[in-house]
Chains A and B, each alone.
Chain A
Amino acid sequence: MTAPVLEVTDLAVHFPGRTGAPVRAVDGVSFAVAPGETLGLVGESGCGKSTVSNAVVGLVPPTRGSLRVMGTEMTGATRATKHDIRARVQMVFQDPVTSLNPRMSVGAAVGEPLLVRGLASGAALRARVSELLEEVGLRPEHAQRYPHQFSGGQRQRIVIARALALRPDLLVCDEPVSALDVSVRAQILNLLVELQQRRGMASLFVSHDLAVVRHVCDRVAVMYLGRLVELAPRDALFATPRHPYTRALLAAVPEPDPVAQRAKPRVPLAGEIPSPSNPPPGCTFHTRCPFATERCRQEVPAWRPLGESMVACHHAETLA
């Protein structure tokens, strides 16, 4: 088996809370991303998926656990190592408007990673920027323009070009199409799928939109309240969800098909997501789970394999 591009083991990120107890944004998450693979990370707001992606790119220091990029340990690494590793992992953000410096030309923005790392300058840099812009479906002459001259979808293309400049091994996409209009979303999704295939680059794709995740990912991890509840190959996850939360999430996605949507059994998940500074004991999902038993309220479910999936539920077998 090939070595993973990214290996996350027992990652925890806690933030100081306002009322004493730390906010356990991420609390013991483990997964790996294989070369060329796209791993989806889904969950609702506050589940910690964005914190995981920020930790992976080194923007948030982990409280506990290990992060290995191409086999190199990131936590506790020296500055020089971190600087090198950062070039291997690049990121695409949610909001294309704030992802680009409004006072910097597109060419300068896309070329910056190459320039500051001393990889190209002058004519070579301009040539490389042109190549990158063409690769994401823009024209070389766009390099002279400024971000405000572009639409949201084009800006996201520029952001992607910048992220590709260093030929990263891993591309972290944090909700890359959530801020875009429906008709533009398809353009960016097509581009991302095309880049996966052309470059064979691995990516971690964070999103709340299950249909989008299903469209671009090979495997999918579902997060709830700072922990993974299920991780499975895409088709297995969507065909036979093992965790009751995954099931509820799938049932809640409104499908753009009135016939199918109205024929769906309506089992809306009751209640609200508990606070990550005071998570419920036992299985954190038990407060909203229709199948919860006494055991769920007391005992944290183990992260265990079941068929093709990994799942954290005491009753996963009885659900299937």
Chain B
Amino acid sequence: MRGISPGMALILLLLVAFIVAALAAPWIAPFDPLRQSLLMRLRPPGTTVAAGMYLLGTDDLGRDLLSRVLHGARASIAVAALSVSISLAFGTLLGLLAGWFRGWVAVAIMRSVDTMLSIPAILLAVLTVAVLGPSFLNLILVLGLTRWPRYTRVAYAQTLQVATLPYIRAAEMAGAGSARILWRHILPNIAGPLMVVATSEFGLMILFEAGLSFLGLGIQPPYPSWGSIMSVGRQYVERAWWLTVFPGACLFVLVLCVNLFGDWLRDRVDPRSQGR
């Protein structure tokens, strides 16, 4: 095991901070993110009132921006984590089946992968939400059920490779059935590359959620999401820069950290970069 570089330590620290902030939002947020105060509309960062300080200012309805950004982090991370889990599980299962049984099973699965990948993902998401109606649950379902082909491809290629190794043949000779071989022998040995894909998808899902919420197809008002905060902020960009800058910066930093973490994870998982 190699050590962790100082840069990577910073990235890990930031990621942990984001996750803690998201989980603890109800307790650490200074104000109720939904409480409006029309007298306090569009106040700049640092405005002090009796109840405390609007550290990041307020929005067009006088709600505390810091509290909304913290709760927005919760939405972003929850949507990304749940949708990645769904697509990871579903995509991996299909990839394992295609790689293990090959033949017509693989043809059927991999052709549907090709089909899915030829549809622009964001367009598909927009259309589905438009049909099903926007809600937190639908957002997760849409993202979860449209992003599985990437996992399937990786799981399929890895399974094909691992399936030829002698230890799989030994398991067959031991008398193990397909389910056991897939679960005990193949899955643990292809998990590394899948986690790398899942990490990069996690970053992408945060962006998708923000994008859909920006378009009004994601998290619905009054509940906060970075995308919807920025969407509102766009109208006031000249008068109240903080409405776009702070959620935008959070989005940028979080996705950057996730992607850098993904690169680091890939280097660790890649057998070519292991050992001498």
Contact = CB atoms under 8 A, between A and B. Distances in A.
A and B, direct touch (CB closer than 8 Å): yes
Interface of A: 57-59, 83, 86-87, 89-91, 93-95, 98-104, 109, 112-113, 116-117, 159, 162-163, 165-166
B: contact size bracket: 10 to 19
Nearest to B191: A103
A90 B185 CA distance: 18
A113 B189 contact: no
A99 B165 CA distance: 7
B171 A102 contact: no
A162 B166 contact: no
Contacts of A94: 166
Q: Which of B165, B172, B176, B188 is packed against the most chain A CB atoms within 10 Å?
A: B165
Contacts of A159: 170
Contact of B167 (A90, A100, A113, A117): A100
Given A93-B170, A159-B170, A98 B176 contact: no
B166 A112 contact: no
Contacts of B185: 101, 104
Given A104-B185, A116-B180, A99 B167 contact: yes
Contact of A59 (B172, B177, B180): B172
Tell me what chain B mostly uses at the interface: helix, strand, loop, or mixed.
Answer: helix
B188 A59 contact: no
A102 B170 contact: no
Contacts of A83: 175
Nearest to A95: B166
Given A103-B189, A116-B180, A91 B174 contact: no
Contact of A98 (B167, B172, B175): B167
B166 A99 contact: yes
Nearest to B180: A116
B35 interface: no
B172 A112 contact: no
Contact of B174 (A58, A93, A162): A162
B169 interface: yes
A311 to B, nearest CB: 33
Interface in B49-85: none
A163 B174 CA distance: 8
Nearest to A103: B188
B184 interface: yes
B172 to A, nearest CB: 7
A100 B165 CA distance: 9
A101 B176 contact: no
B173 interface: yes
A113 B189 CA distance: 20
28 contacts: A58-B173, A59-B173, A83-B175, A86-B173, A86-B175, A91-B173, A93-B169, A94-B166, A98-B165, A98-B167, A99-B166, A99-B170, A101-B171, A101-B185, A101-B188, A101-B189, A104-B188, A112-B171, A112-B174, A113-B173, A116-B174, A116-B175, A116-B177, A116-B180, A117-B174, A159-B170, A162-B170, A166-B174
